[in-house]
Structure 1
Amino acid sequence: MEITAQSVWSNCLAFIKDNIQPQAYKTWFEPIDAVKLSGNALSIQVPSKFFYEWLEEHYVKILKVSLTKELGADAKLVYVIKMENTYGNKQPFTEKIPSANRSALKSQDVDVPFNNKSPELRNPFIIPGIRNVKIESQLNPSYSFENFLEGDSNRLARNAGIAVANKPGGTSFNPLLIFGGVGLGKTHLAHAIGVDIKDKYPEKTVLYISAEKFTQQYIDSVKKNNRNDFIHFYQIIDVLIIDDVQFLSGKTGTQDVFFHIFNHLHQNGKQVILTSDKAPVDMQDIEQRLLSRFKWGLSAELQTPDFETRVSILKNKLYRDGVEMQDDIIEYVAKHIKTNVRELEGAIISLIAQSSFNKKEITINLAKDIVEKFVKNTKREVSIDYIQKVVSDYFQMDVNTLQSKTRKRHIVQARQLAMFFAKKYTKASLASIGSQIGQRDHATVLHACKTVDNLSSTDKQFRKYVEDLSKKLAL
């Protein structure tokens, strides 16, 4: 059997898969392609410079072991890194990088100019609460890395945040976009990065601001005819943290001014950190040129924490508050409140408060009462599988038919309705919805949602489908 780049890499992957966590394998190894085998040198293509850095930082040993098994002690690994320059042109970059030698990456692959100095600020735009040229960071010091516990659900985002805090503007994660559902810790992590940077680099200007407040400031600057001062103010920031960037959706003027601010900061080696409730691919009504910049660095997702992480979060919260609680009570709360860290901590605070105010001992029964109220008052999230079953039953077909490749009109409409309700009732990304409903891509899901909206307003029968299914899926 002929030895090819693909066969060698396939064997390496089999070994790696057996020795690392499934999520890590999916994130860091599935996107890699083997492109060339030349003697004992295997060339692999990675999506970005960031990918290369992460592999060398965290997986160099296992890469070396797996490759040595296949190609012998003299095995070499060649990274092919596809990079995008400032103007959006694809610029392939190939560098032979010996294992565990990150300095071999040539500086020529960084095509962002760093020689422009920040403009002199003679008449700074004044943000309310910020006096003169001294800029208060607006950071909350209680949000730190120390109380942002690491788990499988947040490891990538947290580690990337620490890397940014250690070297703001000097890593490949610029911008760093942290995204995920409500209450999973996006704002906490963004503040933690800022707080750590201020601690390590007190001379740096760090500013945290919500996208909503940024938008309001921009509107005020236009009204007062000092738009340029607004731009100049933001161009002197060393580390700009913008929370809930999806709020810029549909606001073309604010997007335009942020585009220019972002370009200036990025080209001058300043750090931009963004949070969003959606991945860039799922953001709507954001200009394409801005979305492409969001993708320049790293988009790191915060997922729902697993049971062990939820227990750790609760124990850490209790330790910080100086409260002791039996393990079975902690585990009961962690088992029943799964989707939201904020609610998890809220339940424990309520439990302590009830016990304190009513002079009751914290028992499992008291925990059950508190948890029941939290679960009852929390909007229940249905699963994509459940939505597909309800839609299939309504149209009297099985789920396999719904997911099939057929283009029959009534099946296509049923599939589009399932995608529409999955987007409406779950926190899943468009890509995730598409993959679960017949292995479609995110663009198909987006088209389905628009089609359902259009047909609902023009087709009486279709509107009835939507109304009937809404009642069946009513939360």
Structure 2
Amino acid sequence: MLFRRRQKTGTCLAAFSGVWIFFHLIQIQRIRDFRGAILYPLESALEDAWSQTKKELQKSAKDSNVRSCLQSLRPIPLNSGSARDHFVFELDDESLLKTAAQLRGPIQTRLSSLTSQSVSVEFRLAQKKSNRESNWVRPQLDLSRFCEGKANRIPLMAARNIVEQPGKVNPLLISGETGTGKSHLLNAIACEVLRKRPGTRCTLIRMDDFPSHFGEQILKGRNLALKNKFRRGDMLFIEDFHSIRGASPNVLDELYFIFNSYYENGRQIVVTSDVSIKDLSITSRWLSRFLSGLQVRLESPDVELRKRILKQKIQDTGLNLGNQSISRILERLRGNARDIEAAVNRLFFLQSGGIELTDELLEQQLEEFLSPRVEGPLDPRTILETIADVCGVAGEEILGNSRKMEIALPRHLAMYLAVHYSDLNKSAVARFFQRTDHSTVIHAERKIAMKLQKEPSFQHLFRQVTERLGINRG
């Protein structure tokens, strides 16, 4: 009798201990996640426990179906009315439900151990009829309409890889100047994923809007709803990440918790930014996450890519232009994809209003998108002055003897362009630049040719100069 009483007392103490540990875990979670927005502690604890459970089960899994099932399972966010010992997981693929049922025992055992209470789990097939998270995706901006060239080949390869294998390269950061196609590529990834896996929930955060939206929800007491809204997707897309500069600490913390919940659970993250990560003053926790993924850059389009973009935009709008008119535009077209789209839209607007697109009207309407006409060879003085202006150095410095990189490079470029676009031979070019013989000019030519082949940043500088001079070389 005494033994039974002691055993019963021990059982009660163990039960009380388990409850206390779980309550303590919740309190710790509340403190850890409190960054100006109150996060529901049970959900955070579940996410942590599930992340650890999934990692351990994936390590021991030998069957590819089991690994695929574990990767696909998503815990449904808890709310104040949810049972504390019953957790529900969603699946998009019906064929994996049988595998999930086989995993119920191991999952329940591990979650029970981590939460210090006996829990049960349930698996449901996600309803595909409602996919509000993906309403932002524009079907017309898919990969088939993203023109490929040297300037975007690597980012395009990365995008295709993500469509085929979400989560393998994570996160993906796409950087590039305004108008180079970041938004199109981000949209295209989501578009292709939805075609292959229609139930996928693609969540978008626009950093221009997120801080104000976050503030509004806090004022309305809807911070939990906001957190659930952004955390329940299968893939996270963040547009204009560079706008993170200047955001309040509370906003940065909330964004990081959303970002990290996707990262820890192996869900794909795609981010666009005008600048690369090294040019953003971000904390080490952000930096470590981005460095573990892939960073690619969209460069400004060269001549060949601009031609493809122009033809694609003409085809998309149904603009009726003769081949001769198109050829004239292509000879002098400059700018990025957004500029080209603006030019085509302007012409389409005029044509749809019944205005005939004569050569004179094309010249007038597209003046800002076209390089100036060049009649005959260029004056070497014009080349010198243009390069000095673009590079921010004095013409006298270029003609001088300084070997500093910021002076020598503009000098080499000026010599290169003078050889190719003025009427001077190499000896005359050497005299103009106050050099003793033409060997210096030959050396400059080789240096510039090598940089044009290997350095995208120099290619961008070269395009700036040639477009200013009216040389449409790309």
TM-score (norm. length: structure 2)? 0.53
Shift of 1:226: 4.0
- Larger Cα Rg: Structure 1 or Structure 2? 2
Please name the residue that 1:27 is paired with.
none
Alignment partners' CA distance in 1, 2:80 and 2:204 = 21
Shift of 1:279: 0.9
Single out whichever of 308-317 and 351-360 deviates more from structure 2: 351-360
The offset of 1:278, in angstroms, is: 0.5
SS of structure 1 residue aligned to 2:136: coil
Contact preservation (8 Å) 1:116, 1:268: no
Give the deviation of 1:397 after TM superposition. Answer: 6.7
Shift of 1:311: 1.2
Q: In 1, distance between residues paired with 2:257 and 2:314?
A: 45
| CA distance, structure 1, for counterparts of residue 396 and residue 217 of structure 2 | 55
Report the residue type matching 2:261 in the other structure: H
1:216 matched to 2:173: no
**What secondary structure is seen at the aligned counterpart in 1 of 2:205?**
strand
CA deviation profile, 1:244-268 (whole Å, cap 9, x unmatched): 0111112132222222221211111
Matched ranges for 1:15-414 at <5 A = 117-122=74-79, 134-169=132-167, 171-172=168-169, 174-251=170-247, 252-284=249-281, 286-357=282-353, 359-360=355-356, 362-374=357-369, 386-388=389-391, 390=393, 393=396, 400-401=403-404, 403=406
Deviation at 1:303, TM superposition (A): 0.9
SS of residue paired to 1:179: strand
Distance between the aligned counterparts of 1:165 and 1:230, measured in 2?
27
Shift of 1:308: 1.4
- CA deviation string 1:146-179 (max 9, x = no partner): 111111111111121122122222x22x111111
Q: In the aligned structure 1, how far is the partner of 2:77 from the partner of 2:171?
A: 24
Cα deviation, residue 385, structure 1: 6.1
Letter in 1 for 2:279: D
Per the alignment, do residues 156 and 225 of structure 1 end up closer, same or farther by CA in structure 2, a change over 3 Å counting?
same
* Ranges in structure 1 where 5+ consecutive residues have no aligned partner: 1-106, 125-130, 377-381, 406-430, 437-475
Letter of the 1:145 partner, please give it: L
Higher normalized helix content (fraction of residues): 2
Distance change in 2, residues 1:288/1:337 (3 Å) = farther
Give deviations 1:190-244, integer Å, cap 9, x for gaps: 1111111112111221122311222222222332344344333322111111110
CA RMSD of aligned residues (A): 3.7
User: Aligned partners of 2:299 and 2:213: how far apart in 1?
Assistant: 32
Residue 295 of structure 1 deviates from its aligned partner by 2.6
Which structure is richer in relative contact order (CA contacts within 8 A, separation 6 or more)? 2
**Number of residue pairs matched by the alignment:** 285
Hey, what does 2:439 align to over in structure 1?
none
Which residue of structure 1 lines up, in the alignment, with residue 426 of structure 2? none
Change (3 A) 1:365 1:132: closer
Structure 2: gaps (5+ residues): 1-63, 82-128, 372-384, 409-455, 462-474
**TM-score normalised per structure 1:** 0.53
CA contact (8 A) 2:263 2:269 kept: yes
Return the letter of the residue paired with 1:276. S
